[in-house]
């Protein structure tokens, strides 16, 4: 398809806009798309780290101007493997290596809890080979539910959950 503006080059950009509740599509070449008013925005490459800093609750470098560079560098931990400082991680929005997780765990844990809602990873379980893991997770959830029922003094419900846990544990033991 040719560009709808210049009718010379191949259209490889689609602009969709809503005008009075109606959708309008415009197919343009890269040159026309770059020079059209519909595409007159610029993506700031620093926006992602700034967004992450705001999300994590860190002060941006302009907010830290009161502290001297020497003060922050002497107080900061450094990753023994990659040499990154925590301030560099917050500016970049990513960790330097796997050792950074252990080095900065005390600073990262509250952030990860705030973002993910918990401190433990709960990923997907494989459909084909995850039967044993699914059973283990189900038993763990049932034990937590059992504790909650005992605290609420709902002993009738607790007996049912206890029996279900025993049934699952016996079935698990019989397969091995």
What would the pLDDT profile of 15-35 be if each residue is shown by its tens digit? 888 888 888 888 988 888 877
Spatial distance between the Cα atoms of 108 and 57, rounded to a whole number of angstroms:
12
What would the pLDDT profile of 81-125 be if each residue is shown by its tens digit? 999 888 888 777 788 888 888 888 888 877 777 766 666 666 677
Spatial distance between the Cα atoms of 96 and 86, rounded to a whole number of angstroms:
10
Q: Taking the model in full, what pTM does it have?
A: 0.34
The encoded tokens of residue 62 equal: 């302009």
């Amino acid at each position: 398809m040719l560009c709808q503006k210049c009718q010379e080059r191949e259209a490889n950009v689609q602009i969709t806009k809503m005008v009075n509740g109606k959708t309008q599509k415009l197919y343009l070449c890269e040159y026309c798309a770059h020079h059209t008013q519909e595409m007159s925005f610029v993506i700031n490459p620093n926006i992602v780290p700034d967004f992450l800093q705001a999300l994590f609750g860190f002060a941006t470098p302009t907010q830290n101007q009161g502290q001297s560079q020497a003060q922050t560098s002497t107080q900061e931990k450094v990753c023994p493997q990659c040499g990154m400082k925590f301030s560099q991680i917050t500016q970049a929005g990513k960790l330097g290596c796997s050792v950074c997780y252990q080095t900065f765990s005390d600073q990262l844990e509250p952030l990860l809890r705030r973002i993910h809602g918990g401190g433990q990873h709960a990923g997907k379980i494989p459909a084909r080979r995850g039967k044993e893991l699914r059973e283990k997770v189900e038993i763990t959830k049932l034990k937590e539910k059992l504790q909650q029922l005992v605290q609420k003094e709902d002993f009738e419900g607790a007996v049912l959950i206890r029996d279900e846990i025993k049934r699952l544990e016996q079935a698990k033991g019989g397969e091995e």
